[in-house]
């Protein structure tokens, strides 16, 4: 069965059409044409039989009998006295004429005979063995062939092809709207800016396109409201954090408080770092558009930054890996994965490869890894763990990748630690 809607629809139309044509051809060819062909063959056989009977009754008037048969029956009849019929292989032709003529001759004569349908395109040569020789009969082919069969077959095939072509043209126009809807839905799922679809085609297709446009608007409004709200919350948190920092700076620097002040200052700085990261993510989510960029260059920038921070990182990416994505957002997601890996491991490997319609980006490390039953929980906001720390880093990374139509999964690394695999659609 065809996998496409166009192919299946055309097959649904083509099968009944061909079935009707075959039934009509079988009825005409098997009944009407067969009856007409048998009657024409019987007439020729009857004329030859009548001529042979006259030759047997009036052997002295043989020439007169042959001449009368030629004039009355429109047959070329000659007699070869003393000749014998040579056996030759019969050649079948298209149509029932040769079989019907052979059956008619067998019913009229109990003697050998042969038929030649191929030597002359306008005539049929019949040779009949008689007791005193061989009777040669040249019968016009038009008296045996039913010419309407070719016209009828041509009409059936031609009309079927014409109707099928018209149906295919109309169905292609109908399916084009569905293809456009599918492409828009796929692009929107990859986080790309998709304009509203112009409803066209059948009423059901128009309804689906209008529903997609409304769904797209609702999702965009929801994402914008969520981003604005969280960005506002993150921005409002800066005020109490600033007051905390100021209060910590004004505390007396005594030996008893030095350790506590240092720890609280570190916590405040960590909170400020997380808030700054989420604000950067929110601003990029609202303004950045997907465009064709070289992913290899982005991964190279991430590797340079990690090495500058003191990481032992190995980079394995092809020279050209151009896909359509939000460059800053993807750089932020990969950087977060690399930073998590370098904080808990001595060696990190960043690699990318294209497989069909996917690009796979992997971050491998030789650290302690994460137990299998806890790998999903590290993507939750502010979930603490030995590999991810505390905060929104992995949550933001997963949101970025999923906004591009991809996914992040955590696996066992060949280096003995953890592997973070990013799948991005091309």
Least confident of 248-252, 306-310, 410-414: 248-252
pLDDT at 301 over 70: yes
pLDDT at 358 over 70: yes
Residues 405, 426 contacting (CB under 8 angstroms): no
Q: How many other C-beta atoms are found inside a 10 Å radius of the C-beta of residue 18?
A: 13
Residues 386, 368 contacting (CB under 8 angstroms): yes
Which pLDDT value is given to residue 203?
82
Residue 269 CB partners (closer than 8 Å, separation 6+): none
Most confident listed range (87-96, 98-107, 255-264, 386-395): 98-107
Residues 328, 288 contacting (CB under 8 angstroms): yes
pLDDT at 363 over 90: yes
Strands 348-355 and 313-316: parallel
User: Which pLDDT tens digit goes with each residue over 286-296?
Assistant: 556 778 888 88
Reduced to 3 states (helix: H, G, I; strand: E, B; else coil), residue 136 is: strand
pLDDT at 47 over 70: yes
User: Which pLDDT tens digit goes with each residue over 233-250?
Assistant: 777 777 787 888 788 777
Q: Which two tokens stand for residue 307?
A: 């090495």
Angle at 160 between CA 159 and CA 165, to 5 degrees: 100
pLDDT at 389 over 50: no
Print burial letters for 390-414: b (CB count within 10 Å at least 16), e (below 16).
Answer: ebbbbbbbbbbbebbbbebebeebe
Question: Of residues 60 and 24, which shows the higher confidence score?
Answer: 60
Residues 327, 284 contacting (CB under 8 angstroms): no
Look at phi and psi of residue 80 and say left if phi exceeds 0, alpha if psi is from -120 to 50, else beta: beta
Least confident of 215-229, 282-296, 338-352: 282-296
Question: What's the first-to-final CA gap in the chain, in angstroms?
Answer: 28
According to DSSP H, which parts of 28-147 are helical?
33-57, 62-73, 97-108
pLDDT at 321 over 60: yes
CA–CA distance, 245 with 54 (Å, rounded to integer): 135
Which pLDDT value is given to residue 386?
38
| Domains and their CATH numbers in the chain | 5-148 (3.30.450), 190-287 (1.10.287.130), 288-425 (3.30.565.10)
pLDDT at 230 over 90: no
Question: Of residues 70 and 17, which shows the higher confidence score?
Answer: 70
pLDDT at 270 over 80: no
**Placement of tokens 């529903």 in the chain:** 211
pLDDT at 418 over 70: yes
**Placement of tokens 């349908």 in the chain:** 117
The pTM (predicted TM-score) of the whole model is 0.48
Q: How many helices (H) and strands (E) does the chain have?
A: 10, 11
Print burial letters for 184-198: b (CB count within 10 Å at least 16), e (below 16).
Answer: bbebbebbbebeebe
Q: Mean per-residue pLDDT for 315-329?
A: 85
Which pLDDT value is given to residue 147?
63
Strand blocks (E) in 162-270: none
**Placement of tokens 């695999």 in the chain:** 421
Print burial letters for 346-365: b (CB count within 10 Å at least 16), e (below 16).
Answer: ebbbbbbeeeeeebebbbbb
- Mean pLDDT value across the chain: 82
Least confident of 69-83, 111-125, 214-228: 214-228
User: Which pLDDT tens digit goes with each residue over 89-126?
Assistant: 777 776 677 888 888 888 888 888 888 888 888 888 98
Which pLDDT value is given to residue 390?
46
Residues 126, 69 contacting (CB under 8 angstroms): no
Task: pLDDT band for 384, please (50, 70, 90 cuts).
Answer: very low
CA–CA distance, 260 with 240 (Å, rounded to integer): 19
CA–CA distance, 417 with 375 (Å, rounded to integer): 13
Print burial letters for 155-169: b (CB count within 10 Å at least 16), e (below 16).
Answer: ebeeeeeeeeeeeee
**Placement of tokens 């064709």 in the chain:** 292
Q: How far is CA 51 from CA 23, 38, 68, in A?
A: 41, 20, 9
Q: Mean per-residue pLDDT for 408-415?
A: 90
């Amino acid at each position: 069965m065809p996998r496409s809607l166009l192919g299946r629809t055309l097959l649904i139309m083509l099968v009944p059409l061909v079935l009707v044509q075959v039934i009509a051809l079988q009825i005409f060819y098997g009944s009407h044409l067969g009856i007409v062909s048998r009657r024409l063959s019987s007439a020729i056989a009857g004329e030859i039989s009548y001529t042979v009977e006259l030759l047997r009754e009036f052997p002295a008037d043989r020439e007169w009998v042959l001449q009368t048969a030629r004039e009355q029956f429109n047959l070329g009849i000659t007699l070869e006295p003393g000749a014998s019929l040579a056996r030759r292989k019969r050649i079948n032709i298209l149509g029932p004429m040769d079989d019907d003529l052979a059956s008619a001759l067998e019913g009229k004569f109990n003697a050998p005979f042969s038929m030649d349908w191929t030597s002359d395109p306008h005539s049929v040569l019949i040779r009949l063995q008689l007791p005193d020789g061989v009777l040669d009969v040249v019968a016009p082919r038009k008296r045996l062939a039913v010419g309407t069969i070719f016209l009828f077959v041509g009409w059936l095939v031609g009309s079927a092809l014409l109707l099928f072509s018209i149906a295919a043209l109309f169905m292609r126009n109908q399916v084009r709207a569905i293809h456009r809807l599918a492409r828009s839905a796929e692009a929107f799922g990859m986080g790309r800016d998709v304009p509203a679809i112009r409803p066209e085609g059948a009423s059901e297709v128009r309804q689906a396109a209008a529903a997609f446009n409304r769904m797209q608007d609702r999702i965009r409004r929801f994402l914008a409201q969520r981003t604005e709200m969280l960005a506002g919350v993150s921005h409002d948190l800066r005020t109490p954090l600033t007051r905390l920092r100021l209060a910590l700076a004004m505390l007396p620097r005594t030996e008893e408080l030095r350790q506590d002040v240092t720890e609280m200052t570190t916590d405040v700085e960590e909170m400020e770092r997380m808030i700054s990261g989420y604000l950067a993510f929110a601003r990029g989510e609202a303004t950045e558009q997907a465009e064709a960029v070289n992913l290899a260059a982005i991964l190279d920038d991430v590797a340079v930054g990690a090495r500058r921070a003191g990481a032992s990182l190995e980079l394995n990416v092809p020279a050209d890996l151009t896909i359509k994505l939000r460059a800053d957002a993807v750089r932020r997601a990969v950087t977060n994965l690399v930073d998590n890996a370098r904080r808990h491991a001595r060696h990190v490997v960043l690699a990318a490869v294209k497989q069909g319609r996917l690009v796979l980006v992997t971050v491998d490390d030789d650290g302690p890894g994460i137990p299998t039953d806890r790998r999903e929980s590290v993507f939750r906001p502010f979930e603490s763990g030995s590999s991810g720390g505390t905060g929104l880093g992995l949550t933001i990374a997963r949101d970025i990748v999923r906004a591009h139509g991809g996914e992040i999964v955590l696996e066992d690394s060949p280096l003995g630690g953890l592997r973070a695999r990013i799948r991005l659609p091309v």
